[in-house]
Amino acid sequence: MDMEQQLNINGHAGAAVSNTEAIIEVKNLQKGFDKVPVLRDLSLQLFENENLVVLGKSGSGKSVLIKCMVRLLIADSGSIHIFGKNVQEMNERELAEVRVKIGFLFQSGALYDSMTIKENLEFPLIRIKKHLSRKEIDEKIEEALHNVGLSDTINKMPSQLSGGMRKRASLARTIVVDPMIMLYDEPTTGLDPVTSDEISILINNVKKTYNTSSIIITHDIECARATGDRVIMLDKGEVYMEGSIEEFEQSTDALIQSFFKIRQPSSTKAQTHHG
Amino acid sequence: MKAIRPVLKRIPKLPSVKTQAIKISDNAIKKTQLTTRFFREIGEFYLFGWLTFRATFSRSFEFKEFLRQCFQVGNKTLPLISLTGLVIGLVLTIQSRPILADFGATSMLPGMVAVSIIREMGPVVTALICCGKIGSGMGAELGSMKVSEQIDAMEVSSTNPMRYLVVPRVLAATLMIPVLVLYADALGILGSWVGANIKGDVTFALFFTQAFRSIGFSDFLPAVIKTFFFGAAIGFVGCYKGFTAGRGTESVGKAANQSVVLASVFVILIDLIAVQITDMLY
Ligand SMILES: Nc1ncnc2c1ncn2[C@@H]1O[C@H](COP(=O)(O)OP(=O)(O)OP(=O)(O)O)[C@@H](O)[C@H]1O
Ligand SMILES: [Mg+2]
């Protein structure tokens, strides 16, 4: 089965490989906590202007994977190259340079509690884009909040927002600095279907407008369908399958079916509703 | 044959000896784990200290955040410190008056109370209150930031959290606690005057002159210098405990609690050292 899947992937990604090079290249990554391995021998690539969806059961190490990419966690072994440079071996200045180019949406949102939404967005903006004028900063903030549908919460504190609003606000904080690589950790979890769809559209728009490459971690198959150019399934700390959404949906593998089929009824319902 | 029997009888006891041995080795492992954790903690403490030191003397300084923290430190503790300062002065006066009266030395009352407030009571009591209010506040605030990944978020948006969070807090505590101590001293002397007026009649001016006549440079300076160290210790311990909080919400409470304990221990140790040094110098 593995061979077949492998072939599928190469068939699918072949076009992308030939004319672009990997922006992020993870090779044989291993990471464990207190001797319990979480990621074992994980390899993947992210190509230019591509949305890569990462699926996997809860606790399979998806968040750990992207945290290793920005060196919030230090891998035990293996390598992560971003723009051709090994993240593990960078000094602080190089690391800061790379981090500026990466937008990171935390699973928990991670909004700064002590600041208003506006200050939350301003915080990375004035530190990363130092040349902007006051007016440009305000405009960018308004635009980003408008994109996530939160224009009227600009002066509220995070504690005054609902869970979904916090998630969107932190998405706005991530995109406001126009990063070249986006790492979304479950961007649509906890959102209603309508807002989820809007977020998926937003993710696609970000990709189109700024030519970003993104890794989208999600459990939301609708979001994966809407945004994913390529899908990777993690299991037990390794890549279980890699391919296009269609290949995943047609797969006869039990684990993959369980991921896709459970949600089937709700998606058909949604379709009939639309129709 | 008979001699062997008791020996055979004893054989089934062997497993219990074994479990004993296993228990002992379990204990040994636990103890080694505790010791390694202890040493790791000391290592982390030093590393955090070094990083804070380095961040303090780096080029960019978060001045706005520093002012905000100064305000926080003052604002949080002012009511409590005012009350304690006044009451300490008052109580010290009321309690020492009878003893001094026995010796016919009530005129020494202002001086004695002022010296004890400025040398010891003011600094230590204020610092211990700050351990409770400021140390725990910083521990809890940074701990919750750590748990909810806000510190990570700062780090990936190319802001050094040591520079943005720790340095302003440590400096604010270092500079504000001496100010608060002076304020508490002043209120203590005021309270003492009130106490002196309960039984007797002293004008404030007279009381004040008497009090300050007995305070020398050698009382004042070491007392002020040690308060800077108190402040630094409180700010640093609060930040350290917050930053090294574990995962999960319960570690926020733990961080706050441990900040208070550790900061209080530091304050008392620093006081002890300061007394020794002053004693040697004067
Ligand atoms: N900082 C850490 N310290 C110790 N263990 C950790 C840490 N971070 C993650 N883990 C462990 O690593 C494993 C994978 O965690 P991770 O957060 O990557 O899961 P996930 O795939 O993102 O799951 P979910 O879909 O629920 O978010 C979990 O078992 C978790 O307990
Ligand atoms: Mg996760």
Chain B residues close to A96, C-beta within 8 Å: 158
Closest by Cβ to A108, choosing from B149, B158, B159: B149
Q: How far is ligand 1, taken at its centre, from the CA of residue A61, in Å?
A: 5
Single out the residue of B140, B131, B150, B162 nearest to residue B251, CA to CA: B140
Q: What global pTM score does this model have?
A: 0.84
**pLDDT tens profile A138-189:** 999 999 999 888 999 999 999 999 888 898 999 999 999 989 999 999 999 8
Query: For residues B111 and B213, is the Cβ–Cβ distance under 8 A?
Result: yes
Q: Judge whether residue A266 has pLDDT over 90.
A: no
Give yes or no for residue B20 having a pLDDT over 80: no
- Better-predicted residue by pLDDT, A13 or B246: B246
- pLDDT above 70: percentage of residues in chain B: 92
pLDDT at B214: 84
**Residue A267 pLDDT greater than 50, yes or no:** no
Provide the pLDDT for residue A230. Answer: 93
Nearest to A96 among B144, B152, B158 (CB): B158
Question: CA A236 to CA A59: how far, in whole Å?
Answer: 9
In this predicted structure, what is the pLDDT of residue A5? Answer: 44
Whether the CB-CB separation of A202 and A192 falls below 8 Å is answered with: no
User: Residue A197 in contact with residue A222, Cβ under 8 Å?
Assistant: yes
B222: amino acid identity, one letter:
P
Quickly state the pLDDT bin for A271 (edges 50, 70, 90): very low
Please provide the average confidence, as pLDDT, over all residues in chain A: 85
Q: Give the DSSP letter of residue B195.
A: H
What band does A50 get if pLDDT is binned at 50, 70 and 90? very high
**Measured from the CA of A65, which atom of ligand 1 is nearest?**
18
Picking from B141, B148, B158, the nearest residue to A110 by CB comes out as B148
Strand A230-235 versus strand A51-56 pairing type: parallel
Q: What is the mean pLDDT of chain B?
A: 89
B165 in A contact zone (CB under 8 Å): no
Higher pLDDT, A16 or A198: A198
pLDDT, residue A191, reads 85
**Cβ neighbours of B138 in A, within 8 Å:** none
Q: Do B156 and A72 touch (CB under 8 A)?
A: yes
Mean pLDDT over A203-223 rounds to: 90
Superfamily of domain A19-263: P-loop containing nucleotide triphosphate hydrolases (3.40.50.300)
End-to-end CA distance of chain B: 84
Question: Which conformational region is residue A41 in: left (phi greater than 0), alpha (psi within -120 to 50 degrees), or beta?
Answer: left
pLDDT at B27: 81
List of chain A residues whose C-beta atoms are within 8 Å of the C-beta of residue B155: 72, 99
Interface membership of A210 toward B (CB under 8 Å)? no
Contact B120, B225 (CB under 8 A): no
Closest residue, chain A, to B151 (C-alpha) = A110
Chain A segment 99-118 residues within 8 A of B by beta carbon are 99-100, 102, 104, 106-108, 110-114
- pLDDT tens digit string along B34-52? 888 888 888 988 999 998 8
Optimal mutation site among B156, B164, B243, interface A, most CBs of chain A within 10 A = B156
CA distance B133 to chain A (A): 18
> Mean per-residue pLDDT for B131-158?
94
Whether the per-residue pLDDT at B181 is higher than 70: the answer is yes
Q: Compute the average pLDDT of residues B14-20.
A: 60
